[in-house]
Structures are given as C-alpha cells and as structure tokens.
Chains A and B, each alone.
Chain A
Amino acid sequence: MQNMLSRQEISIQTSDFSLADEVGLLEQDNLSDGAIVTFTGRVRNNNNGNSVTTLTLEHYPGMTEKALAKIIIQAKERWNIGRVKVIHRIGELAIGEQIVFVGITSKHRHDAFAANEFIMDYLKVKAPFWKKERISDAGQTSESWLDAKTTDTDKAGLWS
C-alpha cells in the first residue's frame, strides 16, 4: 500500500506540467496543511560558459521510479510532511522549459522547506537521469553528456 501511494506521487513524463495545476492538487481537500513549498527546475541557456541550445534527458525506466520512491519514503521518515509530488521530464527540452518539479505540503513551513531540498539533493545523486546538452559555439553545434558535479555529491552528503 505504501508503495502504491508513493507511485502516484511520482511522474516521469515527456510533456510539460502546470505549476498552478500541481499546486491546486496539493491544496485540494487538504485543509490540515498550512505550508506548501514548491521547487521548479528549468533549462538554462548556459553551462560552463557555453551557449546551450537544447537538453536531452535520458533515464532508466523502472529504476527511476523506484529510486524516487525510496527518496520520498526517507523524506517522510525525517520530516512531518503531508503531500508529496515529484515530476521529472525526459526527452528533448528547449531553453527555459521546465525539467523538474518537487511540491511538498506540511502543517508548518520548516518540514516542507527541508523535505523539498532533501528530495532535490538526493534526486541529483541517486535518481538515474542523464543530461546531454547541445551547445552552439561560433556557429558550430556539438553534443555532449554532462559530467556529474562533486558539489552535488557533497551537498547530498550533508543530510546523512
């Protein structure tokens, strides 16, 4: 049952999402939680000084959902949170498009703030997604897989 509930909290999708709709779902019939914290990640137009044109996201179907479910369970064990929603897009994304959404509700703000940051930090190092960027440099375009950042590993390590 726990697992089924967790599954509904996770969506891996190619399509875009609406921040307003997601906040609406977190609020709907939920009068016991006074705090909603949302995070949205978007495609930047630059990375390491290069001009990015598009980003392509690959993932490992099956493992992605399992990894995110585990992260959500850990967040629920650590903080007193209500509803959780994690959306991650895959496929080709243009500059400015939304990539990821984490929405959390809780009675008081502290739990939702902390759990939201925890889920993003863990998603960054434990969920099997990979970004490939297409960059444009003096009219030449090239594609390359992004390298993982040690700062992300260090940041996630601070929670343990």
Chain B
Amino acid sequence: MIKIVFFAALREQLDCAELSIAADKVKTVADIKQILSARNEQWRQTFSNSSLLSAVNHDMVDASQVVKAGDEVAFFPPVTGG
C-alpha cells in the first residue's frame, strides 16, 4: 500500500486527511493524481490546480517521481510559513 496524506486548504477542500491506495495500481505521483482526480468533481477540481505541491517520503518531488509500496505521498498547497 501507499499512504497518501493531505494538508491545510487541500485537506479541508477534500475533507480527507489521509487514505491508502494499492501500490500495484500506480507507477508515479502523476498516476496517483490521476486516480484521485477520478473520485468525483471536487477531487477533480482540487487536483487540476497546477500550484499543488507533492512530496514522497518527506522530500518535495515533481509528478514524474516513481513511487513504491510503503511510500508516504503528500499533497499540499504552496507553503506559507515563517
């Protein structure tokens, strides 16, 4: 399984903090985005936002990043700390 987590405005829009998907269904972060976008209109809209950031195992990555079973994949809006 791959654990997927969401933060901040994204988590609120989706009303979901985390979920899991089967690792054999996806090769890359882009594949995960595609599967999540297909859930419904709200998810499709949320994932169509090009400013969305993603991380795999706590490192920021782009959508071409390869994922494997046991990975933690995160999606979140641009950061606003400091």
Contacts and interface: CB of A to CB of B under 8 A. Distances in A.
Interface string A57-83: 111101100110000000000000000
A88 interface: yes
Interface in B30-80: 51, 55, 58-60, 74, 76-80
A100 B82 contact: yes
23 contacts: A41-B82, A57-B81, A58-B8, A62-B58, A63-B59, A100-B81, A120-B82, A123-B82, A124-B82, A125-B78, A127-B81, A129-B80, A129-B81, A129-B82, A130-B79, A130-B81, A131-B81, A132-B8, A145-B80, A147-B78, A148-B51, A148-B77, A148-B78
Contacts of A59: 81
B81 to A, nearest CB: 3
Interface residues of B, number: 18
B1 to A, nearest CB: 18
Interface of A: 41, 57-60, 62-63, 66-67, 88, 99-100, 120, 123-132, 145-148
Interface of B: 5, 7-9, 12, 51, 55, 58-60, 74, 76-82
Nearest to B82: A124
